[in-house]
Amino acid sequence: MSLSATPPPGARSDWTIPQAWDSYTAAEHGVWDTLFARQTAMLKGRVSDAFLHGLDVLRLSEAGIPDFGELSERLTALTGWQVVAVPGLVPDDVFFDHLANRRFVAGRFIRRPDQLDYLEEPDVFHDVFGHVPLLADPAFADYMQAYGAGGLRAIRFGALEKLARLYWYTVEFGLIRQRGDLKLYGAGIVSSFGESIFALDDTSPNRIAFDLERVMRTDYRIDDYQQSYFVIDSFEELRRQTADADFAPLYGQLEGQADIAPDAILPSDRVLNRGTQRHARDRPR
Ligand code: PHE
Ligand code: FE
């Protein structure tokens, strides 16, 4: 497939740029170290085993912003994935094409010290700390590659909005049940100090058993913590329901169906926690 837009000056035709690891300042490495220490302390006992295992085998606890070349070497040996730098958000087809080829695109810049808690654009901490550990898990690694191929396919079916919701509610904001307990795995949660607590402990959000069709119909909020989280049983099961399935009939079926509001609960839902939605009410809209 031809790529839609022209990459910015300085970027290669696939939109990648050199990470230029040597040009990070000591202060920038320091921001990574601060965020890393704070998140890992808080995530202990809250995050999936697979995530902790990934941090460990990829040696992400070494000081400073990781060098994508070294990180890719470790990752390639485990699951065949690489991490490549991009200047910022890339067009959908470019993003999917990288995933389909087991390349994870990551921002190279890091947030400023006054943005530790929140920033609007994903930076290297979100992209690498949040996303990369799970790429060391074989089932999750397969899921992400298949998602990329599925994204290119969804563009042709005009179904990108539906498929993007699957990414949102799994890769970014997913919860997993592990030996009976809820744990975090979504990158948007695990890279956020506030949402790591909120998603697991707060009484406000719904926690609902993952259902593929249901998730693909559900709108999401980009401006606040989620009002519903969806809970998978394992990455193998997620892969089975998605990578090993043909979405074409599903897209057809979904076409006539109404979208579901982010806070809604349906009679057919398997609800683990019915949220009070107190947080959403307290926030000005
Ligand atoms: N198998 C899906 C399809 O037929 C693609 C997909 C794979 C979607 C993995 C999500 C995750 O389009
Ligand atoms: Fe992300």
- Specify if 10 maps to a domain: no
pTM summary value: 0.96
Whether residue 218 has its Cβ less than 6 Å from ligand 1: no
pLDDT computed for residue 79 by the predictor: 98
For ligand 1, the distance from its centroid to the CA atom of residue 135, given in whole angstroms, is 17
**Measured between alpha carbons, how far is 87 from 187 in angstroms, rounded to an integer?**
19
Any atom of ligand 1 within 6 Å of the Cβ of 244 = no
Note the pLDDT of residue 285.
53
- Does some domain include residue 144? yes
- In this prediction, residue 280 carries a pLDDT of 85
pLDDT of residue 284: 61
Contacts of 280 (CB under 8 A, 6+ apart): 204, 224, 227, 263
What is the distance in A from the centroid of ligand 2 to the CA of 267? 31
pLDDT for position 119: 82
Separation between Cα atoms, residue 146 and residue 99, nearest integer Å: 8
* pLDDT (0 to 100) of residue 5: 83
Residues of the chain short of pLDDT 70, as ranges, are 1-4, 284-285
pLDDT digits (tens, 9 = 90+) for 148-163: 999 999 999 999 999 9
Domain membership flag for residue 228 = yes
Is 35 within the bounds of a domain?
A: yes
Specify if 16 maps to a domain. no
pLDDT value of position 118? 80
Question: What pLDDT was estimated at residue 281?
Answer: 81
15 occurs within a structural domain = no
Cα 116 → chain centroid: 19
Q: What is the mean pLDDT of the chain?
A: 95
Q: Which ligand is nearest to the CA of 245?
A: 1
- Residue 4: its pLDDT value, please? 64
Q: Give the closest ligand to the alpha carbon of residue 250.
A: 1
CB-count burial class (<10 Å; 0-12, 13-18, 19+) for 243: middle
192 to 127, 161, 170, 187: CA distances (angstroms): 12, 24, 16, 8
Q: Is 191 annotated in the active site?
A: yes
The reply to whether 170 falls in a domain is yes
> Are residues 47 and 53 in contact, defined by beta-carbon separation less than 8 angstroms?
no
In terms of residue numbers, what domain contains 181? Answer: 21-282
Instruction: Please list, in sequence order, all residues whose beta carbon lies within 8 angstroms of the beta carbon of residue 44, skipping any fewer than 6 positions away.
Output: none
- 243 in contact with ligand 1, CB cutoff 6 A: yes
CB atoms inside a 10 Å sphere around CB 203? 11
Please state whether beta strands 206-209 and 271-273 pair in parallel, antiparallel, or not at all (unpaired). antiparallel
Structural domains of the chain, count? 1
Give SS3 for 267: coil
Residue 36, token pair as written in the block: 């890393």
Indicate whether 11 belongs to any domain.
no
Whole-number pLDDT of residue 282: 78
Domain CATH code at residue 255: 1.10.800.10
